[in-house]
């Protein structure tokens, strides 16, 4: 039997917090053969094995039933339910022997993260390692299959390996895409007096763009948009880490520049790949109708009203996160007049090229924002995205594109 303090994801917690956590968590007794959670059902809990053995099973109870792995004391399962609140479990969990497990609900996790966010980083790091291990297992599986086929099917070996690799890569990319999309807000929160829309399109099945809406005290809302360097699975994993860090730090009620400084420090500690992220994080206050923000090397927002047209906000110094130990960061505030729209976007929007390799220009973007400012926020996002798609004339998307539109309706 293990204790919570033995788990790496909780070793940063003080003794008092560990005691509180141990008292708060439910303990589930699962006799051998018990199904603890079922494949396909919504995930509401995360389980830590206190003692005994469990197994992760696909297609339980069918002819295709397959045990994916066995887990013992100190292991945990169901962590994606904490990160993907609307996702479904992709396998069943079954007690192999009599077992006791701690159950952590969404509320337990959120309460802990509001006070001690570091376990979230440890959980994300472990998830990244599991994804890397899955990739290594797939590669090893392909090697074994190729070796088994070599003698009998020498002539077909190369073609067979390509087919298997392609199928597995497509499944992995689809899973990665589903995980990434689940990390983005499933529903845009309602804010009195405002209409908010968002849209994202990846250049590949998975990408590095991100956005998030974070409810704050006093009816305010934190709004984040960012762009991680590179594309593909590594950028998507880095994006997920950035999302978790911002969400944890934003709830600490610290000044915005300090939030970005803290995220930057965490990225500098855990960034062996050399990724960096441009980001814009701001707080929308419906009482004052202002948007206060910090721009970390990100694209300059656009403010548009029917009366005065569209214009870029004044340039505020800001350097990307993950490169410099002490990045230059300054905050700024803009008032959003009634009927106006504030447009946040990633650089993929203006990097789209037509068939002559001419990029979509900033003045064209301003014109399109003016043309569509009378629409709802989501309609503006959809129309602007479609404009860029039409402009490309069938040319492939070179970079991820993300849009967030904030429209004051009263």
Residue 138 located in a structural domain: yes
The pLDDT of residue 35 is 92
Q: 331 and 370 in one domain?
A: yes
Going by C-alpha positions, the residue among 280, 288, 282, 291 that lies closest to residue 341 is 291
Count CB atoms within 10 A of the CB of residue 308.
11
For residue 155, pLDDT beyond 80: no
Domain count, the chain: 3
pLDDT in tens, 201-217: 876 655 678 888 988 88
Report the range of poorest mean pLDDT among 90-104, 152-166, 231-245, 313-327.
152-166
Cα dihedral across residues 108, 110, 116, 119: positive or negative: positive
Residue 162 located in a structural domain: yes
Q: 210 and 83 in one domain?
A: no
Cβ(359)–Cβ(319) below 8 Å: no
Q: 248 and 227 in one domain?
A: yes
Residue 183 located in a structural domain: no
Cα dihedral across residues 167, 170, 172, 178: positive or negative: negative
Q: 250 and 141 in one domain?
A: no
The pLDDT of residue 141 is 64
**Average pLDDT value for the chain:** 81
The pLDDT of residue 365 is 86
Residue 275 located in a structural domain: yes
pLDDT in tens, 26-36: 898 999 999 99
Report the range of poorest mean pLDDT among 10-24, 43-57, 276-290, 365-379.
10-24
Q: 124 and 106 in one domain?
A: no
Q: 85 and 129 in one domain?
A: no
- Euclidean distance between CA atoms 410 and 195, whole angstroms: 10
Q: How confident is the model at residue 119 (pLDDT cuts 50, 70, 90)?
A: low
E-strand ranges in 31-176 read 35-37, 45-51, 54-58, 66-71, 76-77, 92-95, 99-105
Last residue of a domain, one of 61, 93, 112: 112
**CATH code of residue 344:** 3.60.40.10
Report the range of poorest mean pLDDT among 126-130, 158-162, 190-194, 309-313.
126-130
Q: 363 and 380 in one domain?
A: yes
Sheet holding 99-105, edge to edge: 26-30, 99-105, 45-51, 76-77
pLDDT in tens, 287-302: 999 999 999 988 999 9
Report the range of poorest mean pLDDT among 11-25, 161-175, 244-258, 339-353.
161-175
For residue 367, pLDDT beyond 80: yes
- Of residues 345 and 234, more confidence is placed in 345
Residue 218 located in a structural domain: yes
Q: 237 and 331 in one domain?
A: yes
Q: Could you tell me the CA-to-CA distances from 198 to 19, 108, 188, 306, 317 in Å, in that order?
A: 41, 29, 8, 21, 25
- Max avg pLDDT among 207-211, 229-233, 271-275, 394-398: 207-211
Last residue of a domain, one of 89, 112, 135: 112
Mean pLDDT to the nearest integer, 212-234: 83
Say if residue 2 is exposed, middle or buried (CB neighbours under 10 Å; 0-12, 13-18, 19+).
middle
Q: 194 and 159 in one domain?
A: no
pTM: 0.56
The pLDDT of residue 246 is 83
Mean pLDDT to the nearest integer, 255-272: 83
pLDDT in tens, 310-339: 999 998 889 998 888 888 989 999 999 999
Q: 79 and 164 in one domain?
A: no
Q: 226 is written with which tokens? A: 């960012």
The pLDDT of residue 129 is 66
Q: 209 and 307 in one domain?
A: yes
**CATH code of residue 56:** 2.60.120.10
The pLDDT of residue 361 is 82
pLDDT in tens, 164-195: 666 665 565 555 555 555 556 778 888 889 99
The pLDDT of residue 105 is 84
CA-angle at 381, arms to 294 and 394, nearest 5°: 115
Q: 276 and 366 in one domain?
A: yes
Q: How confident is the model at residue 406 (pLDDT cuts 50, 70, 90)?
A: very high
Going by C-alpha positions, the residue among 99, 97, 93 that lies closest to residue 58 is 93
Residue-range definition of the domain harbouring residue 283: 188-408
Last residue of a domain, one of 112, 140, 156: 112
Q: How confident is the model at residue 407 (pLDDT cuts 50, 70, 90)?
A: very high
């Amino acid at each position: 039997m293990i204790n919570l303090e033995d788990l790496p994801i909780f070793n940063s917690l003080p003794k008092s917090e560990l005691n509180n956590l141990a008292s708060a968590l439910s303990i589930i007794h699962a006799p051998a053969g018990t199904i603890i959670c079922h494949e396909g059902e919504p995930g509401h809990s995360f389980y830590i094995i206190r003692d005994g053995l469990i197994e992760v099973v696909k297609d339980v109870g069918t002819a295709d039933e397959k045990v994916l792995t066995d887990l013992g004391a100190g292991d945990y399962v169901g962590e994606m339910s904490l990160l993907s609140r609307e996702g479904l479990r992709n396998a069943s969990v079954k007690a192999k022997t009599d077992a006791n497990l701690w159950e952590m609900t969404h509320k337990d996790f959120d309460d802990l993260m509001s006070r001690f966010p570091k376990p979230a980083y440890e959980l994300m790091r472990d998830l990244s390692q599991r994804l890397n291990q899955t990739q290594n297992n797939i590669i090893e599986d392909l090697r074994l299959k190729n070796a088994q086929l070599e003698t009998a099917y020498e002539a077909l070996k190369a073609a067979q390996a390509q087919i298997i690799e392609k199928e597995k890569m497509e499944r992995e990319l689809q899973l990665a895409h589903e995980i990434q999309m689940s990390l983005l807000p499933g529903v845009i929160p309602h804010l009195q007096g405002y209409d908010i829309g968002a849209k994202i399109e990846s250049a590949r099945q998975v990408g590095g763009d991100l956005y998030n809406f974070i409810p704050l005290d006093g009816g305010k809302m934190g709004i984040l948009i960012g762009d991680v360097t590179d594309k593909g699975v590594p950028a998507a994993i880095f994006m997920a880490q950035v999302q978790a860090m911002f969400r944890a730090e934003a709830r600490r009620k610290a000044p915005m520049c300090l939030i970005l400084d803290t995220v930057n420090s965490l990225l500098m500690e855990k960034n062996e790949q050399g990724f960096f992220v441009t980001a814009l994080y701001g707080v929308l206050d419906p009482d004052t109708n202002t948007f206060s923000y910090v721009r970390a090397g990100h694209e300059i927002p656009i403010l548009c009203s029917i009366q005065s047209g569209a214009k870029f906000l004044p340039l505020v110094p800001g350097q990307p996160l993950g490169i410099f130990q002490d990045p230059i960061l300054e905050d700024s505030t803009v008032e959003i007049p009634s009927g106006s729209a504030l447009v946040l976007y990633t650089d993929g929007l203006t990097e789209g090229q037509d068939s002559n390799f001419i990029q979509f220009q900033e003045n064209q973007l301003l014109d399109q924002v003016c043309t569509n400012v009378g629409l709802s926020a989501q309609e503006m996002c959809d129309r602007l995205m479609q404009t860029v798609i039409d402009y490309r004339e069938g040319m492939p998307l070179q970079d991820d594109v993300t849009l967030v539109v904030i429209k004051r309706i009263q």
